[in-house]
A and B are shown apart, each in its own frame.
Chain A
Amino acid sequence: MAALIRKHDFELAPVMSTLLRSDVFFSERAYRALVKSPAEFVVGAHKALGLKVLDPSAQRGMNQMGQVLFYPPNVAGWPGGQNWVTSQMVIARHNYVAGLVNSQVMAQSSWLPSVPMTAQPAAAALIASILQGDASPLATAQLASYLNGAGESAMGMLSGENRDERVRGAAYLTMAMPAFQLA
């Protein structure tokens, strides 16, 4: 890596490009070997949904996930890792995303119309863009059948049955999957 940096005269872009495509980066030791902090989780959820505006409930959501922003427990910061995963914090993460997919900022985004119109391609697109493909074929098929409207209405808080609603529900399910908690 050092040689690469010198070779490119301290230009970082080509170095990062090599790093991010390297076997080490995708090695078992490094792959999804970090638990996302609440800040990373909230920002990641916004990015996954193409949201450019921060949902106003983000701060309250993060507090419930255990991270009061700019207010770490002490000078050492948050302990991180496994400490971000208790059942209370997981419920807070999932319920935050359930709110986010039904939020005003979501309604105004161009992400929803960009999802394919039919169930299977839509499920594949969600798994690819949100989880980088990290879901089993069976889970992807189950997500497609959910998008198809097997069962009744999608999210508990919505009434009526339509495509947008199911895509919102499917986005929630995708972000509730284990892979999305890990980076």
Chain B
Amino acid sequence: MQRTSFLLGALSGITVVANADHIFAQALAASPLPGLPGGANRTLLLINLQGGNDGLNCVVPHGNPAYYRVRPSLAIGRDQVLAIDAQLGFNPQMRALKALYDKGSVAVVQGVGYPDPDHSHFRSTEIWQTAAPDKYLHTGWLGRYMDEAGLPADNLFNGVALSQVLPEVMVAAKTDVPAIPSERGYGLISDRNAAARAAYTQVVRDARQPFSSPYLAHVMEIEDHSQRGSQELPKLIAGYRPAGAYPATALGRSLSLAAQIVGSKLGTKVIYVQHGSFDTHVSQVQTQNRLLGEFSDAIAAFYADLAAHGTDDDVLTMTFSEFGRRIEENGSRGTDHGEASPLFLIGGNVKGGMYGAAPDLSNTSNGNVRFGTDFRSVYATVLERWLGKPSQKILSGSFPTLPVLA
């Protein structure tokens, strides 16, 4: 062997080692913690079933005679329930969701709540969104996730709220999250006119401000996000074509936009959507059945669309509601604010089935369903097993995860 070729061979050997290091570094970057998943394309879709969804008429304990005693006018008949087994079944309007459940893509976590539950919509919503039952926080649990996750600072769409106002759950200390009520409803009214848009860019975003202020750089940066984000989004998602029709409901339109954002690969990690109002004090059956039907149909269209684009395994959907409702119906064919209720986890990576204890209708918390699973356990599961982030700091505590994700 010639000396030069030996040296060259040794050099190329070094190159190979360096490359292997590089590949290893990439693998490490893709998985932030050893043992934790967190694929680059993973998105969480959070649906707020706002107003307090009645759990007993959503996941119906049709095998429990007590259910029929406490709900004389509201109970869903055994012949109506979409039975899962001899004990439980779905609300009759949730046919499409039942089909996904039968395919193994839906996990139902029953009896989710927190200690000393608050019965006010406002406070309990805040507790669910900040994940802080015993203190007041100004950031949401997903806001803190976005701050902690090391997401690219130049991406304007790390998280998006498909709502008019930014919900508390998406409020972050360091991440600017846009609220996008609809593709058309997002952005500056003045941008709809070419002359006004040009003038705005020249006048408002002029970098030469003749004064200084501790907040000036921040205000200018966010004014830039406001205009640039709403101008870029339509272009970024224009190439996406839904594979099928969505229901003509507000939730259907929101989920269609969510699929567009996911399919356009904007790097969006969390999407917030809301649906309601489930605050059914009066004539509950009509309202709740309609809302659950809209939820079920929109979810089915969403996952069918994602599946057609090969991204159904990339999106985990999780629902929440600020509370369930009282076990006994009231005098107005409705139910009042209660405590624990079931929530849904949906997606290709979900290990379908029923989790958590079914509501105990005899051992109650002052007439309400007692909670069996702390909501922060579900959050910890989503953070650690789906988004690949340690949950302790984000949730200010350690909560056991649930085995609901593959």
Question: A151 touches which one: B177, B187, B194, B230 (CB < 8 A)?
Answer: B194
B102 at the binding interface (Cβ < 8 Å): no
B193 at the binding interface (Cβ < 8 Å): yes
Give bound CA distance, A133 to B165, whole Å: 32
**What number of residue pairs across chains A and B have CB atoms under 8 A from each other?**
163
Chain B residue with minimal CB distance to A142? Answer: B202
Q: Which residues of B contact A176 (CB under 8 A)?
A: 190, 200, 203-204, 223
Provide a sorted-by-A list of 23 A–B residue pairs whose CB atoms are within 8 angstroms: A33-B213, A73-B138, A85-B215, A85-B218, A86-B166, A87-B177, A88-B165, A90-B222, A90-B226, A91-B226, A95-B188, A98-B190, A136-B206, A138-B208, A143-B203, A146-B195, A154-B195, A156-B190, A157-B189, A157-B192, A173-B196, A174-B203, A176-B200
Give bound CA distance, A129 to B128, whole Å: 45
- Give the number of residues in A that approach B within 8 Å (Cβ atoms): 56
Chain A residue with minimal CB distance to B187? Answer: A91
Distance to closest chain A CB from B191 (angstroms) = 7
Distance to closest chain B CB from A95 (angstroms) = 5
Q: Are B223 and A90 in contact (CB under 8 A)?
A: yes
Give bound CA distance, A94 to B230, whole Å: 13
Q: Which residues of A contact B192 (CB under 8 A)?
A: 156-157
Q: Are A86 and B222 in contact (CB under 8 A)?
A: yes
Distance to closest chain A CB from B146 (angstroms) = 12
Q: Which residues of B contact A33 (CB under 8 A)?
A: 213-215
Further 10 A-B residue pairs, CB within 8 A, beyond A135-B203, A169-B199, A177-B204: A73-B126, A86-B177, A98-B188, A143-B199, A151-B199, A156-B196, A169-B196, A173-B196, A176-B203, A178-B204
Q: Which residues of B contact A182 (CB under 8 A)?
A: 213, 215-216, 219
* Stretch of A7-15, A46-54, A74-82 with 4 or more beta carbons under 8 angstroms from chain B: A74-82
- Give the number of residues in B that approach A within 8 Å (Cβ atoms): 51
Q: Are A32 and B203 in contact (CB under 8 A)?
A: no
